[in-house]
């Protein structure tokens, strides 16, 4: 039974009627552009085949009732008449994401429908492939369609980001939600995170995308993520007297950085160097893909991982092991951590014929060190969020 069937059947069993709407919202895997979205740089993600599926129908009692199959059928309810801000002192719950979406929509002046919902997904949770953004976009797409709100794709992505920033308390950029909304099959999304202009870059369908999940989970809101963002802001403040035109690290050229890096303490110098070089890697990588140069693109992925490890310090030994193992396998173009780091996944590009060999090498190397196997799954560049039935 596929996920769509599961959520439809569970909806009928729980609520005794058929859903009025079925929505699919994908996760995302970012091939280049680590921690540059909140620096208003460029990123190069794709939506994944793995997605969140949601079934919903309207009710007239002013209450949202949600059953989450992935959390052992746990349920949450909340009244649309009583939507206070989240208490940031407590841990983030799965139900905070749909509640946060409703809160953001209401604050934006949108009418939010009372609904019954069942949802489930095969996007690994807390693994750096945007399970939270997939949930946010699924609920945004649902409320947009059911309430005939008329929100366009960019507005949906921005509201998803506001959910993370204003309700969850994570100072993230817009990449995850933007990719989940705007992506297209066999295309990568080259996104300018300042202008929010994007270009779809053709991705060879015969090239395999593997995701190796370390099994190490992290709560980004309670991790070093927000610290990294503040360090970037501090670096900009120290560089601006010497480079008055800059607004974020995106505006610092490689030459300008070389001439002015001495104004930064060593820690901030490393952080800024990563972001500035990573912005250039994304733009160069997009051009390489347009020319079909997967070998060159893979080389940039490897550089990105090493920079994330050594300069930005967001990798962990488990991710380093997966990436370095993949680099040595014949037929692998490149591998790097994907997402914010501190745990989660490595994304790998390879020839299709190398997938089985890669998976075997990754399992063996990881098991030898950590006495467990990574979860490895194949994905492809997929379409963004859609109403599948209504």
- Catalytic site positions: 176
Nearest residue to 53 via CA among 120, 140, 133: 120
């Amino acid at each position: 039974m596929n996920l769509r069937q599961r959520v439809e059947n569970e909806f009928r069993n729980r609520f005794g009627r058929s859903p009025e709407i079925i929505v699919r919202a994908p996760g995302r895997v970012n091939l280049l552009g680590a921690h540059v979205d909140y620096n208003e740089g460029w990123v190069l993600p794709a939506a994944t085949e793995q997605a969140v599926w949601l079934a919903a129908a309207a009710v007239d009692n002013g209450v949202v009732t949600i059953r989450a199959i992935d959390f052992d059928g746990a349920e949450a309810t909340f009244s649309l008449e009583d939507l206070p801000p989240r208490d940031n002192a407590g841990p983030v719950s799965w139900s905070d994401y749909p509640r946060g979406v409703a809160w953001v929509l209401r604050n934006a002046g949108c009418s939010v429908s009372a609904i019954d919902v069942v949802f489930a997904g095969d996007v690994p949770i807390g693994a750096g492939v945007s399970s939270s953004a997939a949930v946010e976009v699924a609920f945004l797409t649902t409320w947009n369609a059911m309430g005939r709100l008329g929100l366009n794709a960019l507005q949906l992505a921005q509201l998803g980001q506001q959910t993370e920033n204003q309700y969850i308390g994570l100072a993230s950029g817009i990449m995850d939600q933007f990719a989940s909304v705007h992506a297209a099959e066999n295309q990568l999304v080259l996104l300018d995170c300042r202008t929010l202009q994007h270009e779809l870059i053709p991705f060879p369908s015969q090239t395999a995308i593997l995701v190796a999940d370390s099994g190490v989970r992290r709560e980004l809101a309670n991790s070093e993520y927000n610290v990294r963002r503040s360090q970037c802001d501090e670096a900009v403040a120290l560089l601006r007297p010497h480079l008055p035109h800059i607004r974020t690290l995106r505006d610092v050229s490689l030459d300008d950085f070389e001439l002015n890096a001495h104004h930064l303490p060593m820690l901030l110098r490393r952080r800024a160097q990563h972001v500035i070089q990573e912005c250039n890697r994304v733009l160069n990588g997009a051009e390489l893909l347009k020319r079909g140069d997967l070998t060159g693109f893979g080389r940039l992925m490897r550089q990105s991982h090493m920079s994330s490890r050594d300069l930005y310090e967001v990798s962990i030994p488990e991710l380093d092991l997966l990436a370095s193992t993949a680099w040595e396998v014949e037929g692998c173009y490149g591998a790097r951590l994907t997402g914010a780091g501190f745990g989660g996944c490595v994304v790998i590009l390879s020839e299709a014929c190398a997938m089985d060999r890669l998976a075997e090498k990754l399992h063996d190397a990881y098991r030898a060190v950590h006495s467990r196997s990574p979860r490895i799954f194949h994905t492809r560049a997929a379409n963004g969020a859609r109403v599948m039935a209504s």
